[in-house]
Structure 1
Amino acid sequence: MTHVAPAPHEFKANLNFVKHGLSPYWALSSLLIDQYDGYADELEFQLQGEMWEVRFSYNSGGIAPRLSDPINSETLLEPKVHLSGDGERKADYHIRPRFAGMQTPDGDRINTPFDRGSMPDEGVNVRIQGSNLEHDEYAQLLPQAIRRLANEAGNGFNPKYIQPRNIHETSNCDEYERYARLRRSMNQKVIGTGGVLQKLHHLLVDQEGVKYSLDVDNEDVVGKMHKLPLRRSAARELPVGNRGKQIKSYLLKNPNSVDETDSTYHPKFGVLFRKSLNGSTVPWSDLDDLRRELDETIINLLYWSGVPTDPDHTTFVPDDHFDAVAHNGPTLRLFDDPTPQLEASQDALLIRQLRELTDSDMEHLRAMTDGGQMHYEEVVGEAETSVSTLYRTLQRCDALLESDNGVVRWRSKKMRQDIKAVCERVEDTVEAAADSAARLMGMDPQQLREKGSAFQSWLNRYGAELIENDHEISQSAHIKVEAVLSRYRSGSGEFIGKVLDYLEVCWAKAGFDKPLDGTLVEYNTGSGYEEIRIGSFKDQRIR
């Protein structure tokens, strides 16, 4: 299947060079000061077949020179090379000296990787910030630009100093964004009600470990800016990689400044890797893998939104840097939409939790349904209970609620909405499920509590219920399981065969009159329901 090729956008990285120590730094500093008097602009060089405007300058920096350094200044200057190419293709290079034991002029220690025993004592760091270039272009353009600056001044510069092949393994990337430009009409499928951003926010963003929420700005026009940052804990719920990412759909800052004939009238849809969402950078050597992950995330989010992913200009709008052509690199994988399974898992969790609630638990949950969070004193006051009772509720309902510094909040917005719906429909449901199970099995509810606690625990654990036959009293039972189970031992969910083995033990302990053989078990696969009858050939083959 052919997919559109996303394009690069924002990029930030660090390149470290150690093979020649500080020699590249001293050579570049000498070129800048001695040949260009510290500044040069309005230079134009052809690099890799493209014309680039070049600016050569420096920052004063904050690194104190060593006594042995050939410089009479409080700080070491830090050369900068700025490149501007076609359209918005830009690359900023900030070249900084690195050596063990660096200090500020005030004597404060500056920690760098060069303080580690495994690193050489000296080297050069190049801080890169740019846009609309592929990541390998940044490493290729810098040595070419420096060599042209040296040639322009009639000087030489060792071509081996800052070559891509000499990039050290500690080099890394902390921001990388890729994007496609969608027509506004198509973008509504992504950002609108029921779109993939809303669904992911609804199911993931309030889970433990995720601190952000969907940021929506429709002030000037619908779709001006929609951002959904997902930390690794949330991103791992998606099948496309496990790195934390920010999903973005955005228009110009002044979206009404252009009309439909301008490509920028239509929004960019991008995915951004950011260090702050992961707690770590990506090694430079892994950037091909990161690029593929970002591209696959874009394509799959569009696919899950019902947006065609082939390079059709009725869907995508070419701009100066996004060509809207077919992807020709390694195959981009398509995955099934995970949101139905995520929702099914949360539904099963909710069912299991509801079956274990006390009356006071329900009062606390009912008090919490009007908002996402409340102070514990407000919850107790609203429910007319005590702090100790609320504490026990928080222990029992830890899958639904969490408490931090006296503030009680829902772990998931979906959980809050579903509980609110339950509270609106049913007032006295705490014992209803157990009573129904007892009646269907021909037992007194008290008898079930005394003898069938293991079976009731099985029902609770898997969000299961006994289904009543509307037409006649059946000699065999019908059990519906809401928890998502796997047909295979190696699947992502709990294996159905193991669950049935556990059911057999619990059934025997309960002493039911009805035999387990012949019982119909209907279980959730995440994409639908399957049936299996206990004792059948299918059951024996699975177990």
Structure 2
Amino acid sequence: MQLIETAPHEFAAHFLFDQHGLAPFFACDRRIKDGGGSQEAEFDFDGEKWVSRLSYRDSGPEHPGTRLPSGTEFRLEEMREFDLHVESAEDPVGQRSFHVHLAPRWQGMRSESGHEISISADIDEAVNLHVQGSNIEFDQYLPLLRRAVLAVGIESMYFEDPHGFSTILDAERYVRVHEEASGPVHARDGPIAQLGHLLEHDRTGRRKLVQFDSDEHGRDRPGYYHTATLGPRRVAEAFPTHDLPKEVKHYYAKESVSLSGSLSHPKVGVSYQKSFWREQLSASEDDIEQLNRELEETLLSVLAEAGLPIRQGGGTYVEGEYFQLGESDRDRNLVELDFTRIKHRQESVVIKHIADGLAPTAWESLEVLVTDGGEVSPKDIADETGRHPGSVRRALKRIPELVEREYGKVALRSDYIADLVYDAVKEAREATQRAAEVGAKAIEASRRGLDTSTSAFIAWAAKHDIDVTDRESTELQLDFGVVDDIRRKLREGFKLWKAADMPEARYRIAKVRFEKKVTSDLRSVDSDETKSFATTAWHYLD
């Protein structure tokens, strides 16, 4: 499917090369000395002119002496590390570039403070390149690196085959959206907010949903910085074919209020979040292809969910120095973000457990989880509820779809589940209170000499929190509060009223009050709106 072309933004990686040991490191040292402290050269790459600059810095590792533990001679009098800066000579802005910090690696390496530096056990000697750049396609960094080192007199063959421990640290793809069109992306019912609320809990680590609508100077800027960060498990809920943890974001440039042109409009981007999982992406072609595919598919799906066009879309997108309108020649799938499906799945989990009945310890644990704002351990729950910690742990094991247990901490699995559980716990508390009232009123009725059928009507009203006012001088008044089906409730009460041999006419002309939730058609307002109604019972009895 030919969809809109996205642009690469930030990129960072550790590229490790060990096939030629420390030869690249020694080569950099020779070229620096030959150039009196630096080297600079121009070169062509894919029809574009680039500039490469090699320099050095004081090194952090301890000098190894005249020989490395492997036996390799080390003839350098002082320890150095090297910097390579590569930038496009045709970029007027100067942000299409990358920087490389090249450092040696060997077994038994120590820092200047004497601490051993950890090196992979299968590496004797190598060089590590920390690469950081922007506005360059991810699969072009290594080819550009090889051309850049060759331009300053270093063999490119040293950087042909990255070691498997090479690691991508950061990567982002984005589009720039017109500020008047981007609102649905960062709206409170938009895809970023829904991803954050439905797919993440708020108890471990930092908050996953960030929403800032003003800039660093406190100036209003709706959508200034909105992000939702998803770990691998949460990503799989929304994107079943994806593995990589990601951050979805809508953001403006700093000082965008005072900027003009394309920079005054926001970016919508998706970035790889290495810190959210224990796995890693290497520098292999397959891993870089996976990275590009998942970032683009996530970005395009978020745009589509927000109702934005995912082809060129005149007026929606804003071209800039690095983002150009066009259709991609890459094959990408549009993954439908089915929030309704996710909601229904989470609702069904809660309903299942509530309907099946929860043990008292599980109920008490849920009460603590929905009322406590920080991290909670089973011991915390036991202390607060007076239960044995073992009982709490067993109860939590029985509701794995509702709670997440990791490293001795417990949390509800998502904000949405938390809301559902909160409502259930609240309803349970109210039901318990109503049950006590039912018992009290039944006892009161028996003491007043009322028969069983009359007591049944009183108990029914108490159970459903219906306020009954029955004075001889006025009409019967029934206040139902919030109710979904007033017709069914009134008929249910009428049946018990007649069974108690009470005057049917009195119930028929009873004044009825009730409230009902209605759904607003406006997306920008809260859809849970409650309206009050007043009527007469007979309207619903015939």
Letter in 1 for 2:200: V
1:44-83 Cα shifts (integer Å, max 9, x gaps): 555443333443211212222341311112x3x1111112
CA contact (8 A) 2:42 2:51 kept: yes
State the Cα RMSD in Å. 3.4
Count of aligned residue pairs for this structure pair:
412
Distance 1:266 1:328 in 2: 26
Three-state SS of the structure 2 residue aligned to 1:428 is helix
1:132 has 2:135 as partner = yes
Letter in 2 for 1:326: E
Larger radius of gyration: 2
Q: Give matches, 1:5-154, under 5 Å.
A: 5-35=5-35, 37-39=36-38, 45-63=43-61, 64-67=63-66, 68-73=73-78, 75=79, 77-85=80-88, 86=91, 87=93, 88-113=95-120, 115-116=121-122, 119=123, 121-150=124-153
Farther off after superposition, 367-376 or 97-106 = 367-376
With over 3 angstroms needed to count, the CA separation of the structure-2 counterparts of 1:143 and 1:401, relative to structure 1, is: closer
Letter in 2 for 1:70: R
In structure 2, runs of 5+ residues without a counterpart are 67-72, 216-220, 436-487, 489-542
Distance 2:433 2:343 in 1: 23
1:238-267 Cα shifts (integer Å, max 9, x gaps): 2241111111211012220214xx111111
Partner of residue 236, structure 2: 236
1:87-138 Cα shifts (integer Å, max 9, x gaps): 311110112222333223444322223x32xx4x333222211111112322
Distance 1:44 1:158 in 2: 16
Distance 2:395 2:310 in 1: 47
1:149-190 Cα shifts (integer Å, max 9, x gaps): 33xxxxxx434333x4x4344433121111111222332212
Q: Give matches, 1:459-538, under 5 Å.
A: none
Letter in 1 for 2:166: S
CA contact (8 A) 1:358 1:430 kept: no
In structure 1, runs of 5+ residues without a counterpart are 151-156, 433-469, 471-543
Partner of residue 157, structure 2: 160
CA contact (8 A) 1:19 1:123 kept: yes
Partner of residue 534, structure 1: none
Distance 2:380 2:115 in 1: 49
Partner of residue 402, structure 2: 400
- Report how far residue 395 of structure 1 moved: 5.7
Distance 1:112 1:378 in 2: 41
CA contact (8 A) 1:230 1:246 kept: yes
1:270 has 2:269 as partner = yes
Q: Give matches, 1:323-342, under 5 Å.
A: 323-329=324-330, 331-342=331-342
CA contact (8 A) 2:297 2:335 kept: no
Q: 1:172 aligns with which of 150, 167, 175?
A: 167
Partner of residue 420, structure 2: 418
CA contact (8 A) 2:230 2:245 kept: yes
Three-state SS of the structure 2 residue aligned to 1:307 is coil
Letter in 2 for 1:203: L
Distance 2:290 2:405 in 1: 38
CA contact (8 A) 2:43 2:147 kept: no
Three-state SS of the structure 2 residue aligned to 1:283 is coil
Three-state SS of the structure 2 residue aligned to 1:218 is strand
Three-state SS of the structure 2 residue aligned to 1:83 is strand
Q: Give matches, 1:346-495, under 5 Å.
A: 346-355=346-355, 356-357=357-358, 365=366, 369=370, 372-373=373-374, 386-388=386-388, 391=392, 394=396, 397=399, 399-401=401-403, 409-422=411-424, 427-428=430-431
Distance 1:199 1:16 in 2: 39
Distance 2:156 2:367 in 1: 71
Three-state SS of the structure 2 residue aligned to 1:177 is strand
Three-state SS of the structure 1 residue aligned to 2:149 is helix
Partner of residue 345, structure 2: 345
Distance 2:128 2:258 in 1: 41
Structure-1-length-normalised TM-score: 0.67
Q: Give matches, 1:253-268, under 5 Å.
A: 253-259=254-260, 262-268=261-267
Three-state SS of the structure 2 residue aligned to 1:354 is helix
Partner of residue 227, structure 1: 227
1:266-290 Cα shifts (integer Å, max 9, x gaps): 1111111132112232121121222
- Report how far residue 19 of structure 1 moved: 3.2
CA contact (8 A) 1:22 1:123 kept: yes
Farther off after superposition, 368-377 or 270-279 = 368-377
CA contact (8 A) 2:3 2:327 kept: yes
Distance 1:328 1:169 in 2: 29
- Report how far residue 370 of structure 1 moved: 5.2
Structure-2-length-normalised TM-score: 0.68
- Report how far residue 404 of structure 1 moved: 8.3
